[in-house]
Structure 1
Amino acid sequence: MFVPAADRYESMTYRRCGRSGLDLPAIALGLWQNFGRATPYGTQREIVLRAVDLGITHIDLANNYGPPPGAAEENFGRMLAEDLPGLRDELVISTKAGYLMWPGPYGEGGSRKYLLASLDQSLERMGLDYVDIFYSHRFDPTTPLRETLGALKTAVDSGRALYAGISSYSAERTLEALEVADDIGLDILVHQPSYSLLNRWVEDGDPSVLDVLGSSGMGAVVFSPLAQGMLTDKYLEGVPENSRAAQDASLRRNFLAPEVLDRVRALNEIAGSRGQSLAQMALAWVLRDPRVTTALVGASSVAQLEDSVAALENLDFSESELAAIDEHAVEAGINIWAPRSSDL
């Protein structure tokens, strides 16, 4: 049986999530990619258990993570039962619902019927009585926000979730959600937006998403801070055969345009001058903003996870470094979630 490292909380950095009483690790583990049936279970297990040993207390999932949908929750549920049965109260486990999960009119969106049915299925797959955070995974323009947020309130009031969150909502929709939530007596703990050196939409607008989070006291758990691998050394010399870009799936080949790769190479040089890998600098950069609670990373290996956590060894930037980064950290058209949520 797995025995966690006795010193697992000594080196991890924890940050308070907005105005709440909840601390989250500055680096958290997301099971979006690499935790379905296409990846050996043994590899997945090694990554998750190493995350626990590194002090990563927050594990993030969604109903549709796989492939196939639901597989990541099933695999993680097996780890909870076989390796982590005594550690449930040391973990913050989150899941979401919003995107397509099953066929028919009730298998996606923001309806009460879909959200609560999905949450019950997620709990069953993971063998849990409750999750710590349950998110509305995307804004649904076809469903009143009062219904979507009312379902989150039911999840919290029933004990099936401890906290409620939203993901990929625009600043305008976040403000609307906060108003509705206040009216129905729901406290929204956290927003989970995409954010990286190549995807800076949360900084745009007046107010921006980050402005809204700062003024409202919500936390931010930012996902895809490495731009699905673009902000690593993986694509500096081309497209590897087994990479996400080679599969032309969530990371599309056309994202790797020559002008974008030139900027990535320039950012890599800046990272080198800081004594960091590009991935480490990219993580440190999103964490530079005090409104960001956590950078959510995926991992295909233990080594990759350890490299990400090592970003915490150098989170400080000089003004000249930030200025140099800004020359190359520009929008690259990679926000694939915007048309289905934050643009609506």
Structure 2
Amino acid sequence: MFSLSDYGYDLPAELIADRPVPERDTSRLLVLDRRKGDVAHRHFKDIKNIFQPGDLLVVNDTRVIPARLHGVKATGGRVEILLLDYVGGCLCLEREGVFQCSCLVKASKRPAVGSELFIGDRIRVRVESLERDGSAILSFHTEDPMPHALLDAGSLPLPPYIERKEENPDDAIHYQTVYASRQGAVAAPTAGLHFTDALLGELRTKGVELRHLTLHVGYGTFAPVRVEDIRSHSMHSERFEISEETAEAIYRAKAEKRRVIAVGTTCVRTLEYAAIQEGGLKPGAGFCDLFIYPGFEFRVVDAMLTNFHLPETTLMMLVSAFGGYDHIRKAYQEAIAERYRFFSYGDAMLML
């Protein structure tokens, strides 16, 4: 279970969801019993009958920013910029008066340090340094209010496997969770895309407690694992924050032996990372770089909602650790046979 090839599978291309279902909570739901490996087929709105009074549901309230910027070099050549650390840029702006952060730059030739790029006629960009991992540190300059100028100029960075010939303006709505509030992610925490305000209201009425945390999903979520022995993989880090209210709610739930249900791999990683720090799970902020693969001991999360993930990714390794390697293999095979929709805009899985 430590070989990269252990996490591969064959997926028919037509099962990759390139657009959402018309109504969020009508997506399908595969329910996996983590102990027995049994699988049941439901619809997402059925969770109101599966969750129990007293369950604590933890969601990630990060909001995807329009992080993809198109511009030109001083020579006129086209360039594409992807903001990797929007929050870091905002903090730099507060400290030093300039928006500067890590970015990916796509061009026919990599711009040199000190060169300038232009986004429209309002934003000038300077290349401050080139990093070993292929990223670049860029500073952004404009007479307009920053960072709003960047958000106005950018477009939503849909996952690379969503290939469309036409832009869909509805993505600005559908590629955000209904509770997204804190700007900073370059990818959506996709397990949460299935919730509607009405469904969340029904869960609260039933007695399910809802709490938020923040983990700003980074581009590293799409980064391929390039080592055959997965234990040698270096995990990317992402900014997170856990409020005092959320930390206290989790502490109470665990003490009272109530279920903690994490919505998505981002919540799982954040909660488990916080739990293994000195002193245990506490409110605070920092960078999460926890890599979860089979053999990991879960301390906080009792159940998990997630989507179906790309093969040979750290996300597949995490769900295999939580659901059981053999159970996940079986569940994915059944999902393919039953024609479930895969990846960000696809169907969901609940592991109990």
Q: Please confirm whether the aligned pair reaches a TM-score higher than 0.5, indicating the same fold.
A: no
Rg comparison, structure with higher value = 2
Taking structure 2 as the reference length, the TM-score comes to 0.26
Higher relative contact order (CA 8 A, sep 6+): 2
Query: Which one has the bigger strand percentage?
Result: 2
Query: Which one has the bigger helix percentage?
Result: 1
Taking structure 1 as the reference length, the TM-score comes to 0.26
